[in-house]
Amino acid sequence: MAQPEDLLFSKEHEWVKLDGDSATIGITDYAQNALGDIVYVELPKAGSSIKQFSSVGVIESVKAVSNLFTPLSGEIVEVNAALENDPAAVNREPYGAGWLLKIRVSDPSEAQALLPPAEYEKIAAD
Amino acid sequence: MYAPHTERDVAQMLDAIGVGSLDDLLRVPDAIALKTKLEVVPALAELSIQRRFDRFAEKNTGVEYRSFLGGGAYRHYAPPAIAALAMRGEFLTAYTPYQAEVSQGYLQAIYEWQTYICLLTGMEIANASVYDGATALAEGAIMALGATGRRKVLVSRAIHPNYRAVLRTYCDGLDVAIDEIPITNAGTTDLDWFANAGLEQYAAIALQSPNFLGNVDTLTPDALARVTHGGIVPIAVVAEALSLAALAPPAAWGAQIVAGEAQSFGVPAAYGGPYAGFIASTQEHLRRIPGRLVGKTLDNGGRTAYVLTLQAREQHIRRERATSNICTNQAHCALIATIYLALMGATGLRDAAALNLARSRELASAVANVDGVRLKYEAPFFNEFVVDFGRPAAGVLAALQERGILGGIDLGRFYPELGSCALMTATELTTTADINALAAALQEVLYVRAGV
Amino acid sequence: MCAQASDARGAVPLIFELGQTGRANRYLDSGKPLDTFLPRSVLREDLPLPDNSELDVMRHYTKLSHRTFGIDLGFYPLGSCTMKYNPRVNDAIAARRHFAELHPYTPDELAQGALQVMYELERSLSSLFGMAAFSLNPSAGAHAELGALLIAKKYFKERGELQRDKVIVPDTAHGTNPASAAMCGFKVISLPSNARGRVSVDEIRKVLGPDTAVCMMTNPNTLGLFEESIAEIAAAVHENGGLMYYDGANANAIMGYTRPGDMGFDLMHLNTHKTFTIPHGGGGAGHGPLGVAAHLVDYLPTPIVTAAPHPNGDANGAPSDRLTFRLDFQRPKSIGPMRSFWSNFAHAVRALAYLYANGEPGLKRVSQLAVLNANYLRVKIADFLQTPYPEICRHEFVASAQTLKRENGVRALDLAKALLDHGYMAPTIYFPLLVPECLMIEPTETETKETLDGFVETLRGIVDEAKRNPQALFDAPKNTVVGRVDETRAARQPDLRWRP
């Protein structure tokens, strides 16, 4: 599956959509597929500060757990509360209703360390 | 030896493998090869094993004494139907029910156990068991540490001393500090003690009810309000599960986590184990609950089915980030307790509770009638209580022992200020003859001592 | 939906759905109303449990037993679990009144038989595994691991080596190892196995340092392979001031040939519910004796059984018949107790009865035949499934369904489910993690050659079918009371209890 063109990606299979100093973060289609049926998403509290590439949450499937690493530093503005009752949204629409976090970006220059769609596709294809 | 191989089998199998001898299969580097003679017990035929254990058994003379021991391990009536069911080979020799399709029976029994624990405690969820009451307390405290992010717990000094010691062992590993709340002169937790304490530093507050001194001991609404305001998780410890048949469930006084011991439900005292620990909690702690959980779901044909679930919390998947390291639990003891509860039902449990209440009051008034003995507290109790002999309890209990009676637990072992006191227990198995014998012996012991 | 009653593959009603208030059994005399004894304010308002007739309860749990697979029903080749026959004499002895009814607070002098059981078991285990002493306190393997790491933590603290906060765990280790380490605040370093499925001395040297606390290993490892370099590995860890921990889950493979103590381990646990025939009981209770070398004895969890000469001992009896025993709680360096009471004592009785059934020659024979059975199965199965480590194994081995998956889309899980249809328990699957589509098989010594041959032919048939008609395997199991279970639904919508 081709990656949406307006996103940036991390090697840990997260995507980020930048809109001014705010960013929406989720996991890629490749990641949701590798994890299988996602049953629970553990996210940090709104208001907390997170640091680029640090572990900020956990995604559980039936028989695996995976760390969620944030692709950018910032302050969490909103977490996707709908996932509490519908974690399957991450499987269904990883780039849409299955988003995980919205943050206020503290250092936009960090985006340089992220990958454009074409480069991420190479990693995911491996 | 339980190995069925004939010499011919061994030869054929070695041949198939392509090695010359059994030693070739098991050889290890010379440097580590066994060189000494092993000192293990000698090999015996089954009949001789039975006779060897006859000798051990006859030295456990304590079972023949009239016993008033309790304190976390209780003698209760267990209908023989329990053993007839629980000792069935299908249950006894099953592994953990990871293969759900061939484990539906055991999984359903554990689902029933989880339900029974919820109904008894008033909690919303319960796990498939933990080792025992003491480790349940430790695991409950760890849940609270995770929920609050704090590094200190508050426990009542009236909690079972062994449970507190085990909590300390676990907390040493986690570098977590424990503060203890003192006991009032009434024999209950001093709820005023933390009126102004910096409650925000604590992850949990744990109370046992009935406590180790036998007394009903719960948070008052006022204390609960302070605890809630401080963001602390209230933990209830239940060491005598039968008390749940009579007393208000922990949910009623605000507990969010219940750490308990279900040995009373048909599990033998067996010199300390195995027993059946359990953890129950409110829904909000679901993701932090340790150990196995059985859930109800459907199979591929839409039929009701049971399965181990939320396994991503557990060590075999989450490894160092698991909610606990527990793997093997106490499934078979939980099965025994489940069958006990099914057989007794609400009516039988209430009858058992009523008899425990009646016998322990009969015992209390009999010993209180002995000159020089008084009941230490006036608080409501279930089936055990503290008596004060007015002289070192150890000596009194030793003298009772000479008369064939295990009169209780010497509280001086655990509480230096209670050196003249003992914890006495009566259950439905305690007879009037037992009580009369104890009262008479106590009279004799105290009279003789007084005269010397 | 078809009518559930006519479908043998359907649900059995819950005990809560059977009961009727007032259908009680009369086990005890009825007591007075509870408020005769206690104020209403402390009493519960209702007790919403069903009353069931004893016959209904008998039928209910007998039905549930029919829906449960145990060793008594068939071959149980579950790797890493040592599902051997559970001799019934052990249970009969443990159930005797003088053991079952003994209260844990019974004074030592009235519980000498129980203490002697614990003493004989402890001494035998110490000799058999080359340790200075064992504690019978921990309740299971993971519990003993925790105890061992608490000992290590305290040991290093007292030596002023607080910087030792790393625990080294090979990638083949049981999940309890890292989880136990985390409960003591240790950080886990995962160590890769080499191409031969072993830990190499060079690899371990790379991660050793002044921060190394403990290296946790099992030998043979979870691939069933013996770590021949274990003495060198232990020496390297010791040179660095670290401790070696032996996970005893696989002890069934070594008895009479080598001992963890001889291999250089300082700490170890045993799963007597594996090696010494204590029944698993559907997941517990277990029993996890914790052994240590001489320099760590003082740290063992309390209490410890100690012995002294008995003034009136039986001169003609066994050595232990001339001793008197007590529980020692006064051990200032101990990590403290790990459980409510002294031990899972009924299991200590079972384990000792099993040791008596074997003695030294018997235990050696146990390991010999366990390894013989595993190797026999390994060479037979290599006919039709990959065995990624084609060499002499110990008590267990791994096979892989990787080729089947690639060529036919059939996974290890599908093979496992198909075995259930044929009356066998499935092997452990997808563990250890480093072998793709892994099937981990441990036959144990109590199985006959005929049983093993039957299993091989059944598995061969399943693999043949997988190639001809993979769909048949995807549909398995079909002969069980339910088909494959929807685990995703169970986890997404947790239903963990019945509600009135």
Cα separation, A43 vs A61, in Å, equals 15
Q: Which of B117, B246, B350, B264 is nearest to C498 (CA)?
A: B117
State the smallest CA–CA distance between residue A5 and chain B in angstroms: 34
Output the pLDDT for position C1. 35
Q: Hey, are the CB atoms on B317 and A63 less than 8 Å from each other?
A: yes
C304-309/C323-328 β-pairing: antiparallel
Q: Hey, are the CB atoms on C9 and B60 less than 8 Å from each other?
A: no
Put simply, whether C493 touches A (Cβ < 8 Å) is no
Q: C335 pLDDT exceeds 90?
A: yes
What is the percent of chain A with per-residue pLDDT over 90, rounded to a whole number? 70
Long-range CB pairs of C403-411, under 8 A, 24+ apart, other chains included: C404/C437, C404/C463, C404/C466, C404/C467, C405/C436, C405/C437, C407/C467, C408/C466, C408/C467, C408/C470, C409/C470, C410/C466, C410/C470, C410/C473, C410/C474, C411/C437
Q: B167 in helix, strand or coil?
A: helix
Phi then psi dihedrals of residue C401, to 5 deg: -100, 25
- Could you read off the pLDDT of B161-219 as tens digits, one per residue? 999 999 999 999 999 999 999 999 999 999 999 876 788 999 999 999 999 999 999 99
**DSSP secondary structure string, C252-291?**
GGTTTTB-HHHHT-SEEEE-HHHHT----TTTB-----EE
Cα separation, B109 vs B331, in Å, equals 10
- Could you read off the pLDDT of C409-454 as tens digits, one per residue? 999 999 999 999 999 999 999 888 889 999 999 999 999 999 999 9
State the smallest CA–CA distance between residue B253 and chain A in angstroms: 29
Task: Kindly list the residues of chain A whose beta carbon comes within 8 Å of any beta carbon in chain B.
Answer: 39-40, 42, 58, 60-65
Q: How many CB atoms lie within 10 A of CB A112?
A: 7
Q: Hey, are the CB atoms on B172 and C150 less than 8 Å from each other?
A: yes
Put simply, whether B182 touches C (Cβ < 8 Å) is no
- Please name the residue of chain B whose CA is at the shortest distance from the CA of residue A61: B312
Q: Hey, are the CB atoms on C341 and B272 less than 8 Å from each other?
A: yes
Put simply, whether B43 touches C (Cβ < 8 Å) is yes
Q: Which of C153, C77, C141 is nearest to C335 (CA)?
A: C153
Cα separation, A90 vs A30, in Å, equals 11
Put simply, whether B316 touches A (Cβ < 8 Å) is no
Q: Hey, are the CB atoms on C111 and B102 less than 8 Å from each other?
A: no
Cα separation, C421 vs B309, in Å, equals 23
- Could you read off the pLDDT of B292-313 as tens digits, one per residue? 999 999 999 999 999 999 988 8
Given pLDDT bands bounded at 50, 70 and 90, which one contains residue B449? low
Put simply, whether B287 touches A (Cβ < 8 Å) is yes
Residues of C in contact with A87 (CB under 8 A): 492
- Could you read off the pLDDT of C364-403 as tens digits, one per residue? 999 999 999 999 999 999 999 999 999 999 999 999 999 9
Output the pLDDT for position C424. 97
Residue in B284, B310, B315, B320 to test binding to A, most A beta-carbons within 10 Å: B310
Q: A16 in helix, strand or coil?
A: strand
Residues of C in contact with A63 (CB under 8 A): 487
Residues forming beta bridges with residue B97, ordered by sequence position: none
Which residues are CB-neighbours of C129 under 8 A, at least 6 positions away? C248, C251, C259, C260, C261, C268, C270, C291
- Could you read off the pLDDT of B384-415 as tens digits, one per residue? 999 999 999 999 999 999 999 999 999 999 99
Strand ranges, E, within B239-333? 257-261, 277-281, 294-298, 304-308
- Contacting chains of C (3 CB pairs or more, <8 Å) are A, B
Q: Hey, are the CB atoms on C488 and A40 less than 8 Å from each other?
A: no
Q: Hey, are the CB atoms on C14 and B53 less than 8 Å from each other?
A: no
Output the pLDDT for position A2. 60
CA B287 to chain CA centroid, nearest Å? 23
CA atoms within 13 A on the CB side of A8: 18
Two tokens, residue B142: 């760890």
Residues of B in contact with A45 (CB under 8 A): none
What is the percent of chain B with per-residue pLDDT over 90, rounded to a whole number? 92
Output the pLDDT for position C19. 85
Q: B449 in helix, strand or coil?
A: helix
Q: Hey, are the CB atoms on A39 and B312 less than 8 Å from each other?
A: yes
Residues of A in contact with B310 (CB under 8 A): 39-40
Could you give the C-alpha distances from B142 to B197, B280, B284, C149, C165, in angstroms and in order?
22, 14, 15, 17, 20
**DSSP secondary structure string, C371-387?**
HHHHHHHHHHHTTTSB-
Which residues are CB-neighbours of C201 under 8 A, at least 6 positions away? C229, C232, C233, C236
- Could you read off the pLDDT of C16-58 as tens digits, one per residue? 999 888 888 999 999 899 999 999 999 999 999 999 999 999 9
Q: Hey, are the CB atoms on B312 and A42 less than 8 Å from each other?
A: no
Of A42, A58, A63, the CB nearest to B311: A63
Two tokens, residue C336: 């403290």
Residues of B in contact with C447 (CB under 8 A): 4
How many CB contacts within 8 angstroms connect chain A with chain B? 20
- Please name the residue of chain B whose CA is at the shortest distance from the CA of residue A41: B287
Of B9, B99, B172, the CB nearest to C425: B99
Q: How much is the mean pLDDT over chain C? A: 95
Residues of B in contact with C471 (CB under 8 A): none
Cα separation, B394 vs B412, in Å, equals 8
CA A20 to chain CA centroid, nearest Å? 18
Residues of A in contact with C487 (CB under 8 A): 62-63
Q: Hey, are the CB atoms on A65 and B287 less than 8 Å from each other?
A: no
State the smallest CA–CA distance between residue B159 and chain C in angstroms: 12
